[in-house]
């Protein structure tokens, strides 16, 4: 079993260049299914989720070529074949195949999504949306079967603000007959990225970034070239790692506006931040004040960053409260941090964190962002070697993590 080993204690220093966003890439790749000709994606992150998605498209008959950070997807020979098992089960974001196949072929049979199951993650809002567009949906043998004689635009009110449901409905509605309105839509930057790609393919989508999205269906979509937005979650993780190690790091190739919630919290803690056009410089301090953090939908503090933030909060001189209002129990990493000496109590959807130094231990990442928390924790430990297993989760979402951290002076290696 592969492990990450960290001999922590060194302040991170230097520049890290952030790759394209995972949560965009895993939606943009299936979005290419809706086109009749080649889609080129630039600034593609090098992640196992991306590799699995490209294999999946090949299994549907697309021709996929990858070179450096570019992917070319020719979907002209793609077919909607039933895909109840295999790669679909390895990814959470395989749910986007439902909307994309439905939009292009009027039918989809896709295994229920796998990926990071840190808590039950229902897809009822996706299904409600497909049904509103005229599809019949059933779940048989662990796979979802969706079929529509004709997809027709409709008004859909999402009961919960969901990134996945918002994107899936945009995908399905882009080629439906008539106008679809999504109310209570999610506003994450990745949703804007998907709409930008679809509009470059000839779709007519307006209102993204607000809670009402209007999609006027078109008969066909064509290929285009699109550059993926920077990964704000990776960027936030390096900002946190820089602060936690009392380092000085320029986090480059990012959109600082996407990181406003985290920047604000870091300033409250006592971290110094310099803003540049496409970079943030994070300068750590010896003493940090405790803060309260509430993970919310965008533009609030991202739930995907709450776990590494928890590791940073162990470094303050008081008691902080971290509450996740998006997922109710995304705290599987807490017992692992406690093994490292953290003083954390869980109460409902909150973690109460009393600042205390961490020590080296053998710990296990139980999901992707839990892995990020343990890496940040390991980087702060001043003596001994932290051993992290579950590396396969971390590889799903962090492009060249070991190389990047080593480039900033960390002693980190795989074994
Ligand atoms: C996406 C991100 C994930 C991030 C999350 C919240 C991708 C591939 N993943 O996940 O990294 O943590 O957004 O920012 O982009 N819900 C329902 N019914 C549904 C859908 C969601 O009840 O049909 C609930 C979920 O259980 C959760 C909340 O809504 O409590 C938000 O989930 P959602 O935004 O859908 O998350 P994902 O799209 O799964």
Residue-wise pLDDT tens digits, 401-412: 999 999 999 999
Cα(1)–Cα(393) distance, rounded to whole angstroms?
A: 13
pLDDT of 406 reads: 98
Contact (CB, 8 A) for 56 and 223: no
Residue-wise pLDDT tens digits, 36-55: 999 999 999 999 999 999 99
pLDDT of 366 reads: 92
From residue 78, alpha-carbon distances to 42, 75, 90 in Å are 21, 5, 21
Active site residues: 116
Q: Whose CA is nearest to atom 39 of ligand 1?
A: 164
- CA–centroid distance, 164 to ligand 1, in Å, is 6
Residue-wise pLDDT tens digits, 181-208: 999 999 999 999 999 999 999 999 999 9
* Its pTM surpasses 0.85: yes
Give residues (CB < 6 A) around ligand 1.
23, 26, 92-93, 121-126, 160, 162-165, 186, 303-304, 326-327
Name the average pLDDT for the chain: 96
pLDDT of 121 reads: 80
Buried b / exposed e over 290-300, threshold 16 CB at 10 Å, is bbebbbbbbee
pLDDT of 112 reads: 87
**Is residue 145 pLDDT above 80, yes or no?**
yes
Ligand 1 pocket, mutate which of 27, 125, 164 (most atoms under 8 A from CB): 164
Higher-confidence residue of 1 and 300: namely: 300
Q: Whose CA is nearest to atom 31 of ligand 1?
A: 162
Cα(355)–Cα(315) distance, rounded to whole angstroms?
A: 5
Q: In a 3-state reduction of DSSP, which class is residue 177?
A: strand
Q: In a 3-state reduction of DSSP, which class is residue 363?
A: strand
Q: Whose CA is nearest to atom 32 of ligand 1?
A: 162
**Is residue 328 pLDDT above 90, yes or no?**
no
Residue-wise pLDDT tens digits, 277-309: 999 999 999 999 999 999 999 999 999 999 999
CA proximity to 126, closest of 83, 152, 159: 159
- CA–centroid distance, 364 to ligand 1, in Å, is 24
- Which atom from ligand 1 is nearest to the alpha carbon of 327? 30
Residue 383: pLDDT band (50, 70, 90) is very high
**Is residue 118 pLDDT above 90, yes or no?**
no
Question: Mean pLDDT lowest for which of 113-127, 185-199, 253-267, 283-297?
Answer: 113-127
Residue-wise pLDDT tens digits, 350-371: 999 999 999 999 999 999 999 9
The percent of residues above 90 in pLDDT, for the chain, comes to 93
**Is residue 115 pLDDT above 70, yes or no?**
no
Q: Which residues contact 276 (CB under 8 A, 6 or more apart)?
A: 250, 256
Question: Mean pLDDT lowest for which of 70-84, 93-107, 114-128, 379-393?
Answer: 114-128
Q: Which helix (H) or strand (E) holds 369?
A: helix 368-380
Q: Which residues contact 201 (CB under 8 A, 6 or more apart)?
A: 31, 34, 35, 39, 174, 221, 222, 223, 224
């Amino acid at each position: 079993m592969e492990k990450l080993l960290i001999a922590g204690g060194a302040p991170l220093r230097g520049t890290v260049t952030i790759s394209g966003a995972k949560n965009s890439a895993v939606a943009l790749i299936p979005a290419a299914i809706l086109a009749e000709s080649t889609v080129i994606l630039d600034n593609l992150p090098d992640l196992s989720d991306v590799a699995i998605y490209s294999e999946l498209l090949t299994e549907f008959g697309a021709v996929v070529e990858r070179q450096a950070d570019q992917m070319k997807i020719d979907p002209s020979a793609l077919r909607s074949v039933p895909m109840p098992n295999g790669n679909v089960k390895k990814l959470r974001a395989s749910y986007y195949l439902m909307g994309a196949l439905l939009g292009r072929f009027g039918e989809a049979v896709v295994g229920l999504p796998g990926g990071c199951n840190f808590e039950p993650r229902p897809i009822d809002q996706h299904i409600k949306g497909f049904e509103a567009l005229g599809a019949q949906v059933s779940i048989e043998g662990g796979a979802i079967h969706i079929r529509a004689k004709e997809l027709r635009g409709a008004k859909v009110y999402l009961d919960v603000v969901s990134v996945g449901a918002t994107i899936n409905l945009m995908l399905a509605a882009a080629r439906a007959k008539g106008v679809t309105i999504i109310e209570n839509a999610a506003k994450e930057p990745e949703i804007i990225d998907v709409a930008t790609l679809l509009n470059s393919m000839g779709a007519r989508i307006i209102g993204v970034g607000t809670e009402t999205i209007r999609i006027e269906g078109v008969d066909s979509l064509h290929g285009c070239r699109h550059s993926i937005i920077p990964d704000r979650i990776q960027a936030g993780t390096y900002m946190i790692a820089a602060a936690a190690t009392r380092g000085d790091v320029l986090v480059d190739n990012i959109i600082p506006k996407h990181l406003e919630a985290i920047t604000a919290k870091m300033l409250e803690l006592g971290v110094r931040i310099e803003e540049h056009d496409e970079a943030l410089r994070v300068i750590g301090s010896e003493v940090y004040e405790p803060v309260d953090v509430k993970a919310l939908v965008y533009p609030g503090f991202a739930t995907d960053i709450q776990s590494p933030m928890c590791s940073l909060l162990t470094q303050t001189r008081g008691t902080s409260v971290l509450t996740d209002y998006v997922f109710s129990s995304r705290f599987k990493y807490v017992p692992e941090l406690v093994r490292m000496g953290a003083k954390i109590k869980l109460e409902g959807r909150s973690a109460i964190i009393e600042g205390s130094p961490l020590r080296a231990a053998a710990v296990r990442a139980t999901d992707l962002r839990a892995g990020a928390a343990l890496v940040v924790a390991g980087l702060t430990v001043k003596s001994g070697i932290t051993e992290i297993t579950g590396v396969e989760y971390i590889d799903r979402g962090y492009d060249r993590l070991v190389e990047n951290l080593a480039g900033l002076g960390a002693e980190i290696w795989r074994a």
